[in-house]
Chains A and B, each alone.
Chain A
């Protein structure tokens, strides 16, 4: 595949669309297309993680080795500043607060921002910006949370992504059978989720995870393995899961996740 061709599969890889197998198995992807694909990943983050992000090369912002561009946050609106063409929300998720600016150009934008008031919980999709060292979020979409299990779900996703980017990618990169020069595992052809199969690319927001890392999870700490197995259940988490999972999750968040909470 030429590096200057528009790669539709990679372009939508961060939005739940599955890339083609050709994209997955192509070795030595040009760094520009790889960077573009990373930039399109959608990362669930907490505000604490946002604020702790480090600066990579050039103008890149990265977390755990993954370029950060589009992020999703869930938090409570604590302040709203309404101007003529923009609306700035201060979103507090319990780990800190960040200002999210939504530009209002069309009627649909006005409808979206008018539905939100102080005290409401919202889900924010946006692009991370850093202006004079101050992090803000340029908001694409800000929506009310109607089912408050979304809050718990978001934090679980943040934990999962953090574990994936720090534990799993490190373990996978040490496997001798890896041949992909990008630094990740050679994707198995039968697997549809290529982003999960390319640790060099980092985690991208996917809802249909394929359990292709059974062999590599043996290398991961037993606790992380338990958490990952739990999180790989179907996207609609049942409210009736066994209490046995809460203990490892408690231990995880209280003692192993100072970077997130």
Chain B
């Protein structure tokens, strides 16, 4: 998948408008395993990012991928955003 073209910035409430399209968002990881990360979006929704998360995984992670449905992203690119991040402001 070519992830270099524009990806819509979404949160939990907006992802349903971009199902099937490339999206990006930041999650606050609550649970993770080798194949997925479950986290809270900037507006408090629980989302699942499937794929190969980075190891180690920080508290906040940016996910770029295709929205499979209104709460799941098939991630291709992961970026650790560290353990301190202003989710409130990213919610714009």
- Identify the A interface with B (CB < 8 A): 48, 76, 78-79, 90, 92, 94-97, 119, 121, 147-149, 151-153, 155-156, 237, 239, 241, 243, 246, 249-250, 252-253, 261
Contact = CB atoms under 8 A, between A and B. Distances in A.
Interface in B1-42: 3-7, 9, 24
Interface of B: 3-7, 9, 24, 60, 62, 77, 79, 81-82, 84-86, 88-92
A119 B77 contact: yes
Given A94-B24, A148-B81, A243-B88, A261 B9 contact: yes
A148 B60 contact: yes
A78 B88 CA distance: 27
Given A148-B60, A239-B86, A76 B79 contact: yes
Contact of B92 (A78, A95, A97, A250): A250
A246 B24 contact: no
A156 B9 contact: no
B89 A156 contact: yes
A155 B92 contact: yes
- Determine the main DSSP class of A at the interface with B: mixed
Contact of B89 (A78, A147, A152, A261): A152
A121 B88 contact: no
A237 B91 contact: no
Nearest to A227: B92
A153 B7 CA distance: 19
Nearest to A237: B89
24 contacts: A78-B4, A92-B4, A94-B7, A95-B6, A96-B6, A97-B4, A97-B5, A119-B79, A121-B79, A148-B60, A148-B85, A149-B86, A149-B89, A152-B86, A152-B89, A156-B89, A156-B92, A237-B89, A239-B86, A239-B88, A239-B89, A252-B92, A253-B92, A261-B9
Contacts of B92: 152, 155-156, 246, 249-250, 252-253
B6 A94 contact: yes
A124 B89 CA distance: 22
A250 B7 contact: no
B11 to A, nearest CB: 9
Contacts of A237: 86, 89
